[in-house]
Amino acid sequence: MKSTQISESLDVIANIRKSRRSFLRQAGVLGIGATTGLMLATQNARAQSDSQMEAAQEYEQSLDTVKEIFTAALIAEDLATVFYYNGLVGNVIQDSNLAGPGGSATNVTSSGNFGNVDYLRAALTQEIEHANLFRSLLGISAPSADPVQTFYFPAGTFDTLSAFTGLLNALENAFIGAYLNAIQEFSVKSVHARQARSGVISSSRNDPQYTAEQLDYFAKVAASIMGVEAEHRVLGRVISDSNPANNLAYEQTDSLNAVYNGPNSAVAALTPFLSPKTGSGYSLATALANQSGVASTNVTGNPPAF
């Protein structure tokens, strides 16, 4: 499957806005007075449309509980763990941009690229660390109790560099979008928690078991993880020789507007990887049981301080 087709499998259908004729064209045909009226009407219609979309987004975000956000993040990190592990042990590792023909994750040939392989090994370690964090926050005792144990990938994902890095880019964009939304959701929940303490009633679900300070901290942690996922996106582009690798001035939400609930949520975007219809299944247990043979031991750091 071509990388563009793989990327399309994660695309979340966005709202399509109708195009407008430019002001200068309207002025030339309709005259200044008519154009001014049309411009005001168009601006009002656009403002109303934006307001409706914003309201829909706020509603979907309000449905997400803290536990649901953590659960979605755990599923995403487990998916990433399985993805990077199988990239390191699959046929793609023998590409000349990775370990080279005949090489492996721990034996990069002279025709390979040690740095690129090290990027992937570090990414695997980081995704495992992230999953461990969310597992602890959810009170899950072991990976065997995680909600998803098998992930499914399109045929050829781990065979060629173009297929692998194409999906890497799509996945990391979705992860970045998910964490950006999580930051916003935790921030809103923090405001609601402070309002509730002041006696202000909010219609949004507040997750009252968490304090505003805890919710602030969750937003900080989500931001710290999002930064690492953004590194993965860029380093994936380095491996695929996509220049410039750091091509974005700002990371994007990837058309996601919530983390767990709604048709434009991160969970909805990642659903194809939970279905056998997508392709072959790959085990989380297998990846974790064997990751020590390929994961990097040079990754350091802990979540930010509370």
Tokens read off for 133: 């964090």
Contacts of 174 (CB under 8 A, 6+ apart): 10, 76, 254, 256, 266, 269, 270
- How many Cβ atoms from other residues are within 10 Å of residue 67's Cβ? 15
Number of domains in the chain: 2
Residues 174 and 36 in one domain: no
| 168, part of any domain | yes
Q: Which residues of 271-282 are buried (b: 16+ CB within 10 A; e: fewer)?
A: ebbbeeebbeeb
**Spatial contact of 177 and 254, defined as CB atoms under 8 Å apart:** yes
Q: What is the pLDDT of residues 199-255, one digit of tens each?
A: 665 656 667 789 999 999 999 999 999 999 999 999 999 999 999 999 999 999 999
Residues 68 and 215 in one domain: yes
**Spatial contact of 191 and 264, defined as CB atoms under 8 Å apart:** no
What span, in angstroms and rounded, lies between the C-alpha atoms of 253 and 266?
Answer: 10
Residues 138 and 44 in one domain: no
Residues 101 and 196 in one domain: yes
Q: What is the pLDDT of residues 233-246, one digit of tens each?
A: 999 999 999 999 99
| 2, part of any domain | no
Residues 114 and 133 in one domain: yes
Q: What's the farthest any 2 CA atoms get from each other in the chain?
A: 73
| 11, part of any domain | no
| Residue that the structure tokens 């990077």 belong to | 84
pLDDT (0 to 100) of residue 48 = 58
The range of the structural domain enclosing residue 49 comes to: 19-55
Q: What is the pLDDT of residues 33-45, one digit of tens each?
A: 444 455 555 566 5
Residues 47 and 81 in one domain: no
Residues 35 and 96 in one domain: no
Kindly report the pTM of this predicted structure. Answer: 0.82
Residues 26 and 106 in one domain: no
| 217, part of any domain | yes
Query: Does the pLDDT value for residue 184 go beyond 90?
Result: yes
pLDDT (0 to 100) of residue 197 = 75
Tokens read off for 198: 């002041």
Residues 138 and 284 in one domain: yes
Query: Does the pLDDT value for residue 103 go beyond 50?
Result: yes
Residues 98 and 38 in one domain: no
Averaged pLDDT, 29-34? 39
Q: Minimal CA–CA distance to 280: which of 145, 99, 110, 159?
A: 159
What span, in angstroms and rounded, lies between the C-alpha atoms of 263 and 265?
Answer: 6
Tokens read off for 283: 């085990």
| 129, part of any domain | yes
pLDDT (0 to 100) of residue 29 = 36
- Ranges of beta strands (E only) in the chain are 150-153, 280-283
C-alpha distance from residue 236 to each of 73, 84, 168, 260 (Å): 21, 11, 7, 26
Give the gyration radius of the chain's Cα atoms. 22
Residues 51 and 71 in one domain: no
Residue 204 or residue 153, greater confidence: 153
| 96, part of any domain | yes
Residues 68 and 184 in one domain: yes
Tokens read off for 209: 């078991």
| Whole-number average pLDDT of the chain | 86
Q: Give φ, ψ of 102 to 5 degrees.
A: 80, -5
